[in-house]
């Protein structure tokens, strides 16, 4: 007998598994299909984020930063030691345990909420039927009232540097190094490249980042990107802008990379090379030819503002649709879709999706940049506050960076919050909450912030928008 569900989700990443749980919570019979398996051959829920993306990279970032602090940052606190060393396999093993705990946690949540977990490859057929190819090759077809496509994305391959997962690796392979490469190359100065480059640089690798664009962190506010480039360079990352990789040749356990820059053709040799030039949507064998779901020329599934595809009752969320490839964006889209399936008028604000780069200092922002607003002809007032003037940051010996608040000059409504510095992600989220409710800089300035906290930097930056900062000289006078 053919199984029938109210909702069938293809993909158990942060978009898919959240959608499945939410659907079950709302009383909809729900199945979630996932094919990914771990090294032991067992079904591993959670998608790229939990298995080979957000979570494992943060585990390595935290471990490597603790090692860096132990080496260079304890003396100022009066802590002395005879020396520290890093056990790389143990660090990677800790990362693996975190991943296992979280992915098994998703399985537990499925059981607790009544989600049917199906292992296999899901493919949408005509009439909202889903074909599931099991690991043993057997095929089953299930029926659904509604289908949510959440297959995620995978690293982009580039012909000049074909990945072999040995000398030339993608972001997944870069999480599994068992020793620190002496010379590490990274193609791409985006989020993934900077984070992974930082991990291995802190552990002693000589890291060179090759970025084809002439502009560093183009999506970030200019003031933030300039500060980030200066800081990361000081930390040891050799970031070469305008460096377009044209070829590579693996010689045993090293690779010679050819690239062009303003000075012509260059070559450089690495022990390992990470290709981190972005990600592309996974739609391979996802849709039958007659499914009716349309895909654009870049491989993204076409959807409306509420993630509905061209087929009624079929939705797509996360990395396979327009917008930023972010786990939290995918999760919220999943919730919105399910709420709308139940007849609720749910929606999400795409203008207020925070972005974070987990280097040290962290880099985060929400809303628009100053350069974007000026290009639109919007008059703005800007307030900044350096962490060098924060008592809490001084106490933690973590004073690099600043908070920047941008407000409309006419209405005082906050249009952007940009942070580089300690706990940037958390501070930007505070800004996002306020912006969701239409906060003004004056509103933020009138709120009581606990002392001493890093969040006081957001308070002072908001005050500075209108020339009222207390703990730093004001650029604008009242």
CB 186 within 8 A of CB 207: yes
Strand partners of residue 30:
7
Q: Among residues 121, 328, 451, 471, which one is catalytic? A: 451
Detail the DSSP E strand segments found in 26-85: 30-34
- Distance in angstroms (rounded) separating the CA atoms of residues 276 and 257: 15
| CA count, 13 A, side-chain hemisphere, 281 | 24
CA 333, distance to chain mean position in Å, is 16
- Distance in angstroms (rounded) separating the CA atoms of residues 4 and 142: 6
DSSP state for residue 413 in the 8-state scheme: B
The region, left, alpha or beta by phi > 0 then psi within -120 to 50, assigned to residue 278 is left
3-state secondary structure of 439: coil
**DSSP assignment of 230-256, as one string?**
HHHHHTT-EEEET-EEEEEEEETTEEE
3-state secondary structure of 90: helix
Active site residue 451: yes
CB 228 within 8 A of CB 220: yes
- Distance in angstroms (rounded) separating the CA atoms of residues 197 and 233: 11
Of the candidates 270, 221, 295, 290, which has an alpha carbon nearest to the alpha carbon of residue 461?
Answer: 221
Q: Looking at the annotation, which residues are catalytic?
A: 451
């Amino acid at each position: 007998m053919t199984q029938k569900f109210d909702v069938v989700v293809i993909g158990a990443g942060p978009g898919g598994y959240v959608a499945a749980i939410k659907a079950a919570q709302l009383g909809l019979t729900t199945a979630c299909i996932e094919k990914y398996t771990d090294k032991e051959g067992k079904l591993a829920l959670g998608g790229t984020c939990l298995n080979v993306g957000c979570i494992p990279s943060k585990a390595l970032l935290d471990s490597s930063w603790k090692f860096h602090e132990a080496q260079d940052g304890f003396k100022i606190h009066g802590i002395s030691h005879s020396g520290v060393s890093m056990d790389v396999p143990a660090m990677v093993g800790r990362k693996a345990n975190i991943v296992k705990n979280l992915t098994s946690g998703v399985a537990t949540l499925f059981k607790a909420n009544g989600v049917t977990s199906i292992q296999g490859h899901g493919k949408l057929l005509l009439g909202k039927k889903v074909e599931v190819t099991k690991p043993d090759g057997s095929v089953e077809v299930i029926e659904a009232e509604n289908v949510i496509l959440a297959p995620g994305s995978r690293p982009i391959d580039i012909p000049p540097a074909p990945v072999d997962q040995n000398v030339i690796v993608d972001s997944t392979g870069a999480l599994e190094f068992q020793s620190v490469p002496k010379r590490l190359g990274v193609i791409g100065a985006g989020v993934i490249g900077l984070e992974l480059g930082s991990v291995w640089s802190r552990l002693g690798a000589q890291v060179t980042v090759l970025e084809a664009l002439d502009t560093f962190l183009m999506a970030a506010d200019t003031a933030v990107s300039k500060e980030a480039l200066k800081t990361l360079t000081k930390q040891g990352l050799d970031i070469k802008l305008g460096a377009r990789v044209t070829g590579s040749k693996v010689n045993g356990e090293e690779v010679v990379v050819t690239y062009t820059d303003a000075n012509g053709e260059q070559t450089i040799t690495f022990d390992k090379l990470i290709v981190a030039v972005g990600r592309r949507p996974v739609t391979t064998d996802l849709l039958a030819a007659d499914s009716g779901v349309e895909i654009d020329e870049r491989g993204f599934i076409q959807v409306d503002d509420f993630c509905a595809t061209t087929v009624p009752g079929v939705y797509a969320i996360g990395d396979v649709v327009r917008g930023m490839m972010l786990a939290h964006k995918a999760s919220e889209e999943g919730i919105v879709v399910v709420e709308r399936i139940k007849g609720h008028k749910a929606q999400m604000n795409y203008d207020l999706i925070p972005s974070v780069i987990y280097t040290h200092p962290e880099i985060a922002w929400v809303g628009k940049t100053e350069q974007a607003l000026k290009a639109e002809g919007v008059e703005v007032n800007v307030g900044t506050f350096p962490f060098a003037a924060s008592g809490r940051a001084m106490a933690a010996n973590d004073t690099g960076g600043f908070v920047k608040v941008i407000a409309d000059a006419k209405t005082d409504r906050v249009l952007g919050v940009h942070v580089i510095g300690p706990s940037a992600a958390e501070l930007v989220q505070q800004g996002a909450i306020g912006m969701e409710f239409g906060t003004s800089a004056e509103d933020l300035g009138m709120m009581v912030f606990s002392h001493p906290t890093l969040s006081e930097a957001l308070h002072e930056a908001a005050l500075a928008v209108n020339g009222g900062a207390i703990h730093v000289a004001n650029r604008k006078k009242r």
